[in-house]
Amino acid sequence: MSKILIAIFLGFLLFFGSIFLIPVNFIVSSMLKNSNLDIEYSYLEGNIISGKVLDLSYDKSFIGDFNYSSEFSFKDITLNFHSIDNNNIEGKAVKAFSDVNNTDSIVIKDLSVSRSLNTDLIKNMNIFLQINELEIKNSKCVEVDGDLRILSQDIKEELFGKLLCLEENQISIELFNKRMKELGSIAISNSKARVNISTKAINDRRVQLLMDYISFTIDL
């Protein structure tokens, strides 16, 4: 009996050892063929434990270059990722073993994204997104806990808002100042963010005479 148990144990180690040594590109390419996810990349190296992906894009929108590493528990696998280019993105993707065949469902945790951009009327704008947890089922936002902040020299004070999942796979954010006065909104869908900021939040009073809101779109 002891020899049988030893044989089973060694077979178990060899099986999992072979999985860890399989190039991750082979695993990922096979999974993407059987999913509806519009994910593309130019280069992927490493194995299931750690590696690197370059020119990652989703739904034709460029995301960036990343390093990744994996953590395992008895119930799930956690993929830690952080950008290695000029983008400031890092977070975790958690996938339960009980749902491993469903590539359209996942949980995102501790995601932080920061971006600087300019528009015609708002210069040097810094946007900070923090998602504590985002649950996606069947490629749709089910529940989200997170917030977003906007700062700029052309905005009187910091704007912030909480994230909310809506129907038709949209994420909505209502923007407020520190006195909880509503001064704009953001609607995120199809890898784009439509931003509306009230001109009451803008330092230049001449802008308030021309329009009520400054609107622009960000590719995510």
Segment 157-182, tens digit of pLDDT: 999 999 999 876 688 999 999 999 99
CA pair distance 139, 190, nearest whole angstrom: 11
Give the residue, 105 or 92, on which the prediction is more confident.
92
Q: How far apart are CA 82 and CA 38, in angstroms?
A: 21
Task: Read off the pLDDT band of 5 (50, 70, 90).
Answer: very low
- Exposed / middle / buried, residue 135 (Cβ in 10 Å: 0-12, 13-18, 19+): middle
pTM: 0.78
Q: Among the residues of the chain, which ranges form H helices?
A: 2-21, 24-33, 205-210
Of the candidates 150, 167, 168, which has an alpha carbon nearest to the alpha carbon of residue 159? Answer: 150
- What pLDDT is stored for residue 14 in this prediction? 44
54 has a pLDDT exceeding 50: yes
Tokens of 203: 């330092």
pLDDT at 140 exceeding the cut of 90: no
Q: Name which of 38-42, 99-103, 146-150 the model is least confident about.
A: 99-103
The pLDDT assigned to 100 comes to 65
Grade residue 33 by pLDDT with cuts at 50, 70 and 90.
low
Q: How far apart are CA 3 and CA 20, in angstroms?
A: 26
Structure tokens at 40: 């593309």
Residue that is written with structure tokens 């704007």 in the block: 159
d(CA 164, CA 187): 10
Better-predicted residue by pLDDT, 55 or 13 = 55
Q: Are 79 and 70 a contacting pair, CB within 8 Å?
A: yes
Beta-bridge partners for 57: 40, 62
18: closest CA among 49, 43, 45, 44? Answer: 49
